[in-house]
Chain A
Amino acid sequence: AMLDPDRGLSLTIARVVQRLQGSSLHSQLERQARVSLHKPEIKLESLKEDIKDFLKTSGWEKKLQNAVYSELNVFPWLCHPAAPPEHIKEPLAYMRKAQGSWEKRILKSLNSMCTELSIPLAQKRPVSEQKELLNKWNEMGTDEPDLSLFRPVYAPKDFLEVLMNLRNPNYENGEQPSFRNHLGLIQVPLNVKDISELKEDFSELGLNIGQLGIDDSAQVPPEFFENDHVRVGQKVLAEQDSAAAQQYVRQGCPTALRADLWALILNISNQPEDILYYEQLKSNVIQHDLLVDSLIYKDVKLTASNDDYYFVFEDYLYQVLLCFSRDTSVLEHFTYSSATPPKSYIQGKLGMEEYAVFYPPNGVIPFHGFSMYVAPLCFLYHEPSKLYQIFREMYVRFFFRLHSISSHPS
C-alpha cells in the first residue's frame, strides 16, 4: 500500500520532535526564550510572534533548523509505519542473511584469537598502568607494544569476497557461465539510477556549472568562478545554515573553508557538553583495557603509519579510535544499519540476556584499514574532541555503509 504522504510527513515530524525533545538544544532554546522576556521588543500582546522573531534574529532558529536537517539526513524517513525494525535495517531477506553470516564469521575470528591468546575481551587497568597511559596520552604513537600475536579480524579483501559471492535466490542466473554472470564482480541485481536520473541528481557537475578543481585551475582567471564561489562560501559559513552548506559544496569546497563547512554540514559545534562527553570516553580508555585496543594499535601501525609519506598525526588516531570503541551512543546507528552489534556475555553467564553486553561497547569491531577512515580528517581538525565528533558523525552517517552488506540506494 502506498504510504499516504501527509501521514508520512506527520510521522516524520513526530519522530524528529521526539528525538530533539529533552536535548540540550531544546533546553537552550527554552532558556533563550525566557531570557528574551526581558527585552523591550517583546510585548505581551504579541508574545508568541515576538519570541519567534527574536529566535530568528539571534540565530537560534537557524540552530534548530540545522538540528532538524541533521535528523532528517541520518534517519530514513520514507518507511512504512508498519515496517518491522529489521526491514528498516535491511529490507531484503537474503542480504540480511548474508550480513548475519558475515557477522558470525567475524565474531568467531575474534573469539578464537581471544581464546588462543587467553586475553580477556576487557579488563580493568591497574592504577600504575592508568597513570602511565594518562602521561603519554598525547604521544601514544611512541608506544611499542608487542603486537606480533595479534592479527586483524578481517581485511577488506575478505569482505569483497563475501560481496562477490552474494546471490539473490529469486534470480535465476543459471549454472552455465553466461554473458550476464561473466561481467563484473558483483552479481546481485540491484536497482540503480540510470543516466538521466544521475544527470538530474548530479546536475551541479554539468558542463555549464562551475566546479572547484576544474574551473579554478591556473589558466582560468579567478574572476570567472573561483572568487565568487569562495565569497559565497564565506557567506554560507556566516549564516551557519547546514542545508545551504550541503548544497554549496556540490560545486566544490575551498580548501581554506573545508574544515568549517564540513563541521557545519554535519552540525558539529563542539559544545562544552560534547567536550565533556569526549573526556568521559577518554577516562573510560584510561580505566579499562579492551582487546580491540590492540587491534587498533596494530591497524594504525600497519596502515596509516606505514605510508611512504610521513603521517604526522599518528597520535590523533589513537585518541579518536580508542574512545570510539567505548562510545555507546554509536549503537544508535544500528537501527538503520543492516549490521547488528556483536554481543558478549559476562564470564559464566553465556546465553543469559541480562548479562549480555555489546562488544566492543560501540558495537563496531575494527578491521584492517579501519584507521584510514580517521586519517584524512586529522589534516583538518586538531582539537581532539572536535576531531572525534566529526569522525563519529561521518561514521554513523556514511562510513558504516562501506563495510556492511546492504541494498541501501546510497
Chain B
Amino acid sequence: FRIMAGKVKWVTDIEKSVLINNFEKRGWIQVAENEDWNFYWMSVQTIRNVFSVETGYRLSDDQIVNHFPNHYELTRKDLMVKNIKRYRKELEKEGSPLAEKDENGKYIYLDFVPVTFMLPADYNLFVEEFRKNPSSTWIMKPCGKAQGKGIFLINKLSQIKKWSRDSKTSSFVSQSSKEAYVISLYINNPLLIGGKKFDLRLYVLVSTYRPLRCYMYKLGFCRFCTVKYTPSTSELDNMFVHLTNVAIQKHGDDYNHIHGGKWTVSNLRLYLESTRGKEVTNKLFDEIHWIIVQSLKAVAPVMNNDKHCFECYGYDIIIDDKLKPWLIEVNASPSLTSSTANDRILKYNLINDTLNIAVPNGEIPDCKWNKSPPKEVLGNYEVLYDEEMAQSDGPERDLRSRPGQSTGAKGNRARDVGKPVLTTWK
C-alpha cells in the first residue's frame, strides 16, 4: 500500500515515438531535466554528464536511469575485447575448466570474439598475426562510432600504414579516442541463407551486474545484406555485401522499403531446424546464450553496479558456416528508429516489456527493491541468467533446467550437456 502514489515523472533526450508512446500509455508525466524526475531515458552523452566528476549529481532513491555509468566497458569495441581477454586469463589462472584450451591453444568454450587488436597500441602484435595468415581479411572499426560508420576491410598491410607505430613521430602525438581503431579477423565464411549474409540482433536487459541478472528478448531478428555474398577481393569495397547494419543497407540499390531485409529469430530457428536438424540448431542457440552471459560476466567485476541503473543492450552476433556464433559488438543505445511497420511494433513492445521489468507496476520506483520481478511481467523477455538463483539452487536444479533456455518447443530437455554444467552456470 503506497502512501505517496503519485505518477511517475519522466524525461528523455531521445525524441522517439516508441519511447514516448510507452510513457504516455502508463499515464506518466513529462517533466524537464532540471525538475524532479523519476525516470530518465537518456542518451549515452547524457549519462556521461550525470555521472561525471565535474557535472554529475547524486541520484535519489526514486530515480532510475537506463544506462550504467561505465557501460562502455562492454559497449566500446576495444574495452569489450580487453575485458574478455582479462576474464579469460583470470579463469585460466585459477584453473577453471571453462578456460580449457584445445591442442592449438584456442579456448574451447571462450573463443567467441574474433581475434582483435587495438590500433595503434597493438600494431606490432597485429602484424605478427597477420603474417601468419597473409591471405586473411581484416575489418577495421573505429572504437567510438556506430551504425557502420568508418568501417573498412583490408587485406594488405599497406592499407593501414597510418596506424603503424614504428614511426618516431607517432609516439608523441596523442591519439584522440576518436582515432582509435580495433582491427578484427574478418569472418569470411559467414552462414549464408539464399546466398546472402546476415547478422543477428538480440536485445539483452541487465537489471544488475552483481549479482548478475539478465534477460533475453525472445523477439530478436536477423538483418540481411541485400546483395549476394562473395568473399572475392574485388568486392571488398562494396560495403553492401559485407556490412549488415540497416543504416548502410538502406542506401543500397536493392533496399526495399517495404521490408528491411529482416527475419525474426524464430524464422531463423525454424529454417535451421528444417535444413540442419534440431540438435545442431539447439546447440547453436545454447551457444549464443552462453556467449552473451560470458560477455556480461567478463565485465561484471569492473561495472559500476549503481542501483539506479538498468540497461538494454543490442547484441550483434554473426554465425559462421560451421554454425559457430561470434560476438561482434554490443550496443548501449540500440536504434529506436523503425524501418518498417513490423519494426515499429517490435521496438514499441521491447520498450514496453523493458519498462515493466525496470519500473515495477509503472509506479514511482524505489531503488532499494530487490530487482526480482515476478514471472508474469516479463512479457517477451525470458530469464537468461540469474546469478542469485543459480547459486542458491543445488546442482540438480542446474542439470534439469538451465536458466535462460531456448524459446523452442522443448527447451533443453534432451540436450547434450557437453560443457561442465555445475561450474558454468553458477
Residues of A within 8 A of B (CB): 138-139, 141-142, 216-218, 222, 226-227, 254-256, 258-259, 305-316, 378-380, 382
A–B pairs, 23, beta carbons within 8 Å = A216-B409, A216-B410, A218-B409, A222-B414, A226-B410, A255-B273, A256-B273, A256-B277, A258-B274, A305-B256, A306-B258, A307-B259, A308-B259, A309-B263, A309-B342, A312-B196, A312-B224, A313-B194, A314-B194, A315-B228, A378-B194, A379-B274, A380-B275
Residues of B within 8 A of A (CB): 193-196, 224, 227-228, 253-254, 256, 258-264, 267, 270-271, 273-278, 340-342, 409-411, 413-414
Is the beta-carbon distance between B259 and A139 smaller than 8 angstroms? no
Is the beta-carbon distance between B261 and A256 smaller than 8 angstroms? no
Is the beta-carbon distance between B341 and A308 smaller than 8 angstroms? yes
**Bound Cα distance A398, B261 (Å):** 32
Is the beta-carbon distance between B263 and A310 smaller than 8 angstroms? yes
* Known A308-B340, A308-B342, A310-B259; further 5 A-B contacts with Cβ < 8 A: A138-B228, A216-B409, A218-B411, A315-B194, A315-B228
**Bound Cα distance A306, B257 (Å):** 10
Is the beta-carbon distance between A316 and B274 smaller than 8 angstroms? no
**Bound Cα distance A312, B196 (Å):** 8
Contacts of A308 in B (CB 8 A): 258-259, 340-342
Q: Which of A141, A218, A309, A314 contacts B410 (CB 8 A)?
A: A218
Is the beta-carbon distance between B194 and A316 smaller than 8 angstroms? yes
Contacts of B261 in A (CB 8 A): 310
Contacts of B278 in A (CB 8 A): 254-256
**Bound Cα distance A227, B275 (Å):** 19
Interface centre among A226, A259, A309, A314 (most CB of B within 10 A): A309
How many interface contacts (CB-CB < 8 Å) are there between A and B? 75
**Bound Cα distance A380, B194 (Å):** 11
* Closest 5 pairs between A and B when the two form their complex, measured CB to CB: A312-B194, A255-B273, A256-B277, A313-B194, A310-B259
Is the beta-carbon distance between A312 and B411 smaller than 8 angstroms? no
Contacts of B227 in A (CB 8 A): 139, 142
Is the beta-carbon distance between B410 and A222 smaller than 8 angstroms? yes
Contacts of A307 in B (CB 8 A): 258-259
**Bound Cα distance A194, B262 (Å):** 45
Q: Given that A309-B259, A312-B196 are contacting pairs, would A380 and B410 also be in contact in the complex, using a CB cutoff of 8 Å?
A: no
Is the beta-carbon distance between A312 and B193 smaller than 8 angstroms? yes
Tell me the interface secondary structure of chain A in the complex: helix
Minimum CB–CB distance from A211 to chain B (whole Å) comes to 14
Is the beta-carbon distance between B262 and A309 smaller than 8 angstroms? yes
**Bound Cα distance A142, B241 (Å):** 13
Contacts of B267 in A (CB 8 A): 309
Contacts of B260 in A (CB 8 A): 310
**Bound Cα distance A55, B316 (Å):** 55
Minimum CB–CB distance from A299 to chain B (whole Å) comes to 16
Is the beta-carbon distance between A256 and B274 smaller than 8 angstroms? yes
**Bound Cα distance A378, B271 (Å):** 10
Interface centre among A142, A216, A310, A382 (most CB of B within 10 A): A310
**Chain B residue with the shortest CB-CB distance to A230:** B278
Contacts of A227 in B (CB 8 A): 414
Minimum CB–CB distance from A135 to chain B (whole Å) comes to 12
Is the beta-carbon distance between B409 and A217 smaller than 8 angstroms? yes
**Chain B residue with the shortest CB-CB distance to A254:** B278
Is the beta-carbon distance between A259 and B275 smaller than 8 angstroms? yes
**Chain A residue with the shortest CB-CB distance to B277:** A256
Contacts of B342 in A (CB 8 A): 308-309
**Bound Cα distance A256, B409 (Å):** 13
Contacts of B273 in A (CB 8 A): 255-256
Interface centre among B261, B264, B274 (most CB of A within 10 A): B274
Is the beta-carbon distance between B254 and A142 smaller than 8 angstroms? yes
Interface centre among B224, B227, B228, B264 (most CB of A within 10 A): B228
Contacts of A142 in B (CB 8 A): 227-228, 253-254
Is the beta-carbon distance between B195 and A310 smaller than 8 angstroms? no
**Bound Cα distance A254, B410 (Å):** 13
Minimum CB–CB distance from B246 to chain A (whole Å) comes to 12
Contacts of B411 in A (CB 8 A): 218
Is the beta-carbon distance between A255 and B274 smaller than 8 angstroms? yes
Is the beta-carbon distance between B409 and A312 smaller than 8 angstroms? no
Interface centre among A141, A311, A314, A315 (most CB of B within 10 A): A141
Minimum CB–CB distance from A394 to chain B (whole Å) comes to 16
Minimum CB–CB distance from B98 to chain A (whole Å) comes to 30
**Bound Cα distance A222, B278 (Å):** 14
**Bound Cα distance A258, B270 (Å):** 11
Is the beta-carbon distance between A312 and B228 smaller than 8 angstroms? no
Interface centre among A138, A312, A315 (most CB of B within 10 A): A312
**Bound Cα distance A222, B413 (Å):** 9
Q: Which of A141, A217, A310, A379 contacts B224 (CB 8 A)?
A: A310
Minimum CB–CB distance from B255 to chain A (whole Å) comes to 11
Contacts of A315 in B (CB 8 A): 194-195, 228
Contacts of B409 in A (CB 8 A): 216-218
Contacts of B194 in A (CB 8 A): 312-316, 378
**Chain B residue with the shortest CB-CB distance to A307:** B259
Minimum CB–CB distance from A233 to chain B (whole Å) comes to 12
**Bound Cα distance A229, B253 (Å):** 47
Is the beta-carbon distance between A255 and B228 smaller than 8 angstroms? no
Minimum CB–CB distance from A319 to chain B (whole Å) comes to 11
**Bound Cα distance A315, B256 (Å):** 15
Minimum CB–CB distance from A390 to chain B (whole Å) comes to 13
**Bound Cα distance A306, B260 (Å):** 11
Contacts of A310 in B (CB 8 A): 224, 259-263
Minimum CB–CB distance from B318 to chain A (whole Å) comes to 16
Minimum CB–CB distance from B38 to chain A (whole Å) comes to 37
Minimum CB–CB distance from A2 to chain B (whole Å) comes to 47
**Bound Cα distance A309, B263 (Å):** 6
Contacts of B414 in A (CB 8 A): 222, 227
Contacts of A218 in B (CB 8 A): 409-411
Minimum CB–CB distance from B384 to chain A (whole Å) comes to 18
**Chain B residue with the shortest CB-CB distance to A141:** B254
Contacts of B259 in A (CB 8 A): 307-311
**Bound Cα distance A315, B229 (Å):** 13
Contacts of A312 in B (CB 8 A): 193-194, 196, 224, 263
Minimum CB–CB distance from B350 to chain A (whole Å) comes to 18
Contacts of B193 in A (CB 8 A): 312
Minimum CB–CB distance from B319 to chain A (whole Å) comes to 15
Minimum CB–CB distance from A142 to chain B (whole Å) comes to 6
Is the beta-carbon distance between A380 and B263 smaller than 8 angstroms? no
**Bound Cα distance A218, B277 (Å):** 18
Minimum CB–CB distance from A222 to chain B (whole Å) comes to 6
Contacts of A216 in B (CB 8 A): 409-410
Minimum CB–CB distance from B124 to chain A (whole Å) comes to 42
**Bound Cα distance A334, B196 (Å):** 38
Minimum CB–CB distance from B53 to chain A (whole Å) comes to 47
Is the beta-carbon distance between A138 and B264 smaller than 8 angstroms? no
Minimum CB–CB distance from A300 to chain B (whole Å) comes to 12
**Bound Cα distance A218, B275 (Å):** 22
**Bound Cα distance A312, B264 (Å):** 12
**Bound Cα distance A305, B224 (Å):** 14
Minimum CB–CB distance from B251 to chain A (whole Å) comes to 15
Contacts of B263 in A (CB 8 A): 309-310, 312
